[in-house]
Structures are given as C-alpha cells and as structure tokens.
Amino acid sequence: MITNGTEFVDTVIVGGGQAGLVMGHELARQRRDFVILDAGRRVGDAWRERWDSLELFTAARFNGLPGMPFPGDPFRFPTKDEVADFLEEYARAFDLPVRSDVRVDGVRGESGRFVTTAGGLRWESANVVVATGGCQAPQVPAFADQLDEQVVQLHSSEYRNPSQLPEGPVLIVGMGNSGAEIARDVAATHPTTIAGTPGAQAPVRPTRTTARLVFPLLRFAGLHVVTLGTPVGRAVSAKLPTAPLVRTRISDLVGLGVDVVPRITGVSGGRAISADGTACTASSVIWCTGYRDEFDWIDLPAFDEHGEPIHRRGVVAAAPGLYFLGLEFLYALASATLPGIARDARHLAKRMPPPVAVALTEETATGAREPAGVFRGE
Ligand code: FAD
C-alpha cells in the first residue's frame, strides 16, 4: 500500500543477496507483505562483482537454498557467476519482490514503526531485516596513502583479473583466502609477493572426493557443533580466527614463484615495509585486508561502542522488530555462508510476531495521520 509517497509493508528487508532472498522466501511462506531493497543493479551482483577466477569452496550440493537445489553436478565447485545466476533465478522462481538499484540510506524509529529511506523513497514497516552482507566497507591500513603515488592500489573488492595491473611486481597484502587466491591468479603474469602471517590450512582441499566424503562432516560441524550453543562454538566466536586456507596453500604459491614476506607494518620512502624490515618494491598493491561493518545509516539503539550490532541470533532486543541476518557467526560458523543461511532465516521468521494487517484511517488517506496497525519500531 502506498500513501503520500510512503509504502506501508509488514517487513522491509535491506539487502537482496542470498540472506535477503532466503529471508524473503520465509516471509512469503508466512504470507507476509514485504519488500526486498537492494543496492545492486541485478540480483546476484555481489557475487558477479568478485574476481573473475573465483570458484566456491563449498560444493554445489551444499549451496542450494530452501525450495531450490543448486543446479548441475552436485560435486563440482561452482563459479561465482553461477552463484549469481542461481540467486537471480531463485528470486524469479519465487517471485520475490526485489527492488534493485535502491540503496537504503536510513532506518529509524518513528511513532513505534520503522521508517526506511533511500533517496526520496520511504517505507514504513513493523519489522526491518538487515541483510547487507559482510563486504560493506573495504578495509585498508591507514598507511596505504603514504605509498608512492605511482603505485596502483586496489582493494580485493576491486580486483577482477591481472589485466587491471600495470607491468611490474605486485604486492598482495593479506594471507587469508582472498590474498592466497588472488596471488595465484596474479603470479601467472606478474612477479608476485604476498605479505602476511600464515594462518591454519584446511585439512583437505576442495575436490570431488572431499566433496563426497569430508564436506558433509565439515558442514555438520559448521552448522551444529561450532555454534553459540556449544562451549567450543562460543570459544571460537569470542576470538574468531582467520579462516584457514582452503584451496591455495602457501607452499603452492612458493611453487609458483611467489615471494612470501611477513605482514606489512608501514611505509617508508613510498615502499611498503614488512615486519622483518624488507622494503617491497611494487608497481601495484592489492589490499586483501578484509572489510568492516558499516551501519551508520541505522539510527536505532542496536549497536555497541564499536558500532557492532547487539543481538541474540539476529534478534535485537533493544529495538523490537529489528533483525540482522548474514552476519559472521550470527549463530554458527556457517552462518554467513550458503549452507548456513537458511536456518538463521527460519529462526528469525519464527521470532517475528504475527503480521498485522495495516488498516488505512481516513486521516491517513489524506496524509494527516499514519495508518493504524501494530508497529514497534521505537
Ligand atoms: P551479500 O551477498 O554481500 O549481499 C548483500 C546485498 O546487500 C548486496 O546485494 C548489496 O548490494 C546489498 N546492500 C548492501 N548495503 C545496502 C544498502 N544500504 N541498501 C540496499 N542494499 C544494500 N560462501 C559459501 O557458502 N561458499 C563459498 O565458497 C564462499 N566463497 C566466498 C568467497 C569470497 C571471496 C567471499 C567474499 C565470500 C564467500 N562466501 C562463500 C561467503 C558468503 O556466502 C558470501 O559473502 C555471500 O555473498 C553473503 O551473502 P549475503 O546475502 O549475506 O551478502
């Protein structure tokens, strides 16, 4: 229902990646009136915009979403574009009300409801689900701007393939999975150095055999053992370790001729300096240094002093009706992955109070008053 430029719905979902879509699927099953607002041009763009050679670590058989298995050979590891197309097909098949090209710039409480805004657009709702993903604000060390201005700098979120890079040595900063995978990609065409502190390595690599025999166990552990409901899960979540290297190991990179140096601690004379004092000469630097959450557009009492959401399995007690989905370790190690998202969405859907039909008052129709209904946004 739209009145005076405001659309009234039971629930606004912010973000139409896998988390927002699966949440939408749950709400559709409850016959709620909802809308999914997404900043991307096309459903799946968050995946499409990742680097060209990216293949998943999770086999296809584990990447299906409620009501739709992932298509094709279940033991292969799909490309990022296949995931993007799968999500687009998911939204289409279930007729999910995704509004693309809508970047939400505000959520606030007003008269006991939530008001969500995007430019001149406005929604009022009883519930808001924030499903904006873990890749919001690329994080780069402050000393990056002291690098020589000739050095081309990219964050991993901007890297697509080696053709973006000028000739000459490339420094990859960060030894997580993104750093290792991008280093492998770049090493084929450029002299490459990777800097960082090597973390753990997964016990097995993604292969057809491990997809059959080992990944079911890993999935079980990620969903049911390493959770906030178990001592081991709480210990892991208290100090989230860097994810182990899954496909590309440091020894593989060394085999490809990649130099490995300790973490970069600063810049001197325009060059990056590693912890052992090595000055790294590079024509380009790719920062594989992760992301930070950015929720400054949400004006609700839902955050701690570091700006992190305060929630219990995605439910925000201080702002009833506000929910988070897709956060790292929302409930389990697998929470922010394709195999883990459905359970968390189901949990949130069960926690939502029953939908209440929004009744238009006479005043509302003339814009003098807001519609009656039960909203608890403040
Ligand atoms: P996203 O996919 O990031 O979607 C969030 C959506 O919200 C985007 O469409 C964005 O446009 C939108 N949005 C953001 N802010 C706003 C706003 N203010 N207003 C409106 N819309 C907004 N998981 C696996 O299961 N298997 C894998 O192998 C795997 N590999 C990965 C490899 C990489 C390099 C990365 C980064 C992640 C990988 N993941 C993998 C993890 C996870 O599945 C993805 O990060 C996934 O994209 C998260 O889905 P999401 O819906 O939570 O967030």
Q: Where are the domains of the chain?
A: 2-136+293-376, 140-200+242-287
337 lines ligand 1 (CB under 6 A): yes
Residue type, 24: G
Alpha helices for 192-312 (secondary structure H): 208-213, 215-220, 231-238, 250-255
| CA distance linking residue 173 with residue 156, whole number of Å | 10
Q: Give, to the nearest 10 degrees, the angle between helix 18-29 and helix 80-93.
A: 20
Ligand 1 center–CA 217 separation, angstroms: 24
Ligand 1 center–CA 103 separation, angstroms: 15
The answer to whether 44 and 83 have CB atoms below 8 angstroms apart is yes
pLDDT at 374: 37
Give the dihedral of Cα atoms 273, 274, 276, 277; nearest 10 deg. 0
Q: Residue 8: is its pLDDT beyond 90?
A: yes
**For 284-330, how does the pLDDT look when each residue is reduced to its tens digit (9 = 90+)?**
999 999 999 999 999 999 999 999 999 999 999 999 999 999 999 99
Pocket test for ligand 1, best of 12, 13, 18, 52 (most atoms within 8 A of CB): 18
Ligand 1 center–CA 55 separation, angstroms: 14
Nearest protein CA to atom 18 of ligand 1, as residue: 104
43 lines ligand 1 (CB under 6 A): no
**For 215-258, how does the pLDDT look when each residue is reduced to its tens digit (9 = 90+)?**
999 999 999 999 999 999 999 998 877 788 999 999 999 999 99
| CA distance linking residue 68 with residue 90, whole number of Å | 7
pLDDT at 4: 74
pLDDT at 375: 39
237 lines ligand 1 (CB under 6 A): no
Nearest protein CA to atom 50 of ligand 1, as residue: 133
Give the CATH H-level superfamily of domain 2-136+293-376.
FAD/NAD(P)-binding domain (3.50.50.60)
Pocket test for ligand 1, best of 36, 296, 338, 344 (most atoms within 8 A of CB): 338
pLDDT at 357: 61
**For 326-363, how does the pLDDT look when each residue is reduced to its tens digit (9 = 90+)?**
999 999 999 999 999 999 999 999 999 998 765 444 44
CA nearest to 191, candidates 183, 201, 199, 200: 183
The answer to whether 347 and 331 have CB atoms below 8 angstroms apart is yes
Ligand 1 center–CA 4 separation, angstroms: 34
Question: Any idea which residue has 């949400």 for tokens?
Answer: 298
| CA distance linking residue 139 with residue 314, whole number of Å | 24
Question: Any idea which residue has 């790719």 for tokens?
Answer: 286
pTM for the predicted model, two decimal places: 0.93
Tell whether domain 140-200+242-287 is in CATH 3.50.50.60.
yes
pLDDT at 3: 77
Residue 119, SS3 per DSSP? coil
Least confident of 101-110, 163-172, 203-212: 203-212
**For 165-191, how does the pLDDT look when each residue is reduced to its tens digit (9 = 90+)?**
999 999 999 999 999 999 999 999 999
178 lines ligand 1 (CB under 6 A): yes
125 lines ligand 1 (CB under 6 A): no
Residue 288, SS3 per DSSP? coil
Query: What percent of the chain shows pLDDT beyond 90?
Result: 87
50 lines ligand 1 (CB under 6 A): yes
Nearest ligand 1 atom, CA 18: 51
